[in-house]
Amino acid sequence: MAETLGPMCYAFLDYGDHNVFDKDGLQTKNFIVSNITQDANPTVTVHEDKRHSFEDGDFVEFREVEGME
């Protein structure tokens, strides 16, 4: 879309479908997980020196997991 308004103009370009899953636009953060219970609904505990701002419904990715089936 483009529009000319006398000596001024603007243009908008959209290059296709976009999937954005980040609802707040903040950079992703890394945390050290110190414990995960092996219950049906597990509890994840992060290292005590780090505070997180995760909420119900947030997606997380676990990498470099050791010692859990």
pLDDT per residue of the chain (69 residues) written in tens, 0 to 9: 889 988 999 888 888 776 766 667 777 777 888 888 888 888 888 887 767 777 777 778 888 877 766
Q: Helix, strand, or coil here: 15?
A: coil
pTM (two decimals): 0.46
Contact between 3 and 9 under an 8 Å Cβ cutoff? The reply is yes
pLDDT for residue 69:
67
Contact between 32 and 46 under an 8 Å Cβ cutoff? The reply is yes
Total residues found in the chain within this entry: 69
